[in-house]
Amino acid sequence: MSIVDCRECGKPVSDEAKQCPHCGVENPYFKAHLMAQAARAAANHRTPEEGVLKKILRRFTYVAIAIVAVLTLIGKAPAILAALAKPSCEVVSVKPEPDLFLTDGEADAGVKVTALVRKLNRDGEITVSIRLSTSEGDWVKATTGVMKTNEQRNAILQFPEPTVNAQNIRAEATCKG
């Protein structure tokens, strides 16, 4: 048992007293009352002026970050648009050559076309289209792949359609991405 201040009148009272002998309030000392008092004291410790100032500073920081972000985007927009407008790839060389393919388990004469392609300006997917022209007809085939900027790669397409008798074999390739 110890002597504490009555929560109502502030006069000394036992912490086990059911009633204050001075003012008659019930439970003159109890923990919930003290905890509420402590919470009030903590809340009062930060003055309203400090709170408002912090809020203004925080809002100013958000606005400043937003302005910088917008200015950065506007500044970079022309560069981004220019990069997107530039061609994404180029065909370096195209070479058709007679070849043998396995069709249904049997050797079949045809033409293999190898197109060397270079990726430009940005990473991404490209589609390479190859047109094979012969005395027996024209065929177009395409293949896609993902490449890194400045990477070079062979796109190889097989055309089993022409026979060994095909003449005037020519191939051209285009790419887009």
User: Using CB under 5 A as the criterion, which residues of the chain lie in contact with Zn ion when the complex forms?
Assistant: 6, 8-9, 20, 22-23
What is the smallest separation between the CB atom of 34 and Zn ion, expressed in angstroms?
Answer: 15
Alpha-carbon span 94 to 31, nearest angstrom: 89
Quick one: 10 or 137, whose CB is closer to Zn ion? 10
Quick one: 7 or 119, whose CB is closer to Zn ion? 7
Alpha-carbon span 19 to 10, nearest angstrom: 13
What is the smallest separation between the CB atom of 21 and Zn ion, expressed in angstroms?
Answer: 8
What is the smallest separation between the CB atom of 19 and Zn ion, expressed in angstroms?
Answer: 9
What is the smallest separation between the CB atom of 31 and Zn ion, expressed in angstroms?
Answer: 17
Residues 6+ apart with CB under 8 A from 133: 168, 169, 170, 171, 172
The 3-state DSSP class for residue 91 equals strand
b vs e for 98-135, b when ≥16 Cβ sit within 10 Å of the residue's Cβ? Answer: eeeeeeeeeeeebbbbbbbbbbbbeeeebebbbbbbbe
Quick one: 17 or 116, whose CB is closer to Zn ion? 17
What is the smallest separation between the CB atom of 51 and Zn ion, expressed in angstroms?
Answer: 35
Quick one: 25 or 109, whose CB is closer to Zn ion? 25
Quick one: 8 or 99, whose CB is closer to Zn ion? 8
Instruction: Report yes or no: 87 and 127 within 8 Å, Cβ to Cβ.
Output: no
Number of other residues whose CB lies within 10 A of the CB of residue 157: 21
Element (H, E) at 130: strand 124-134
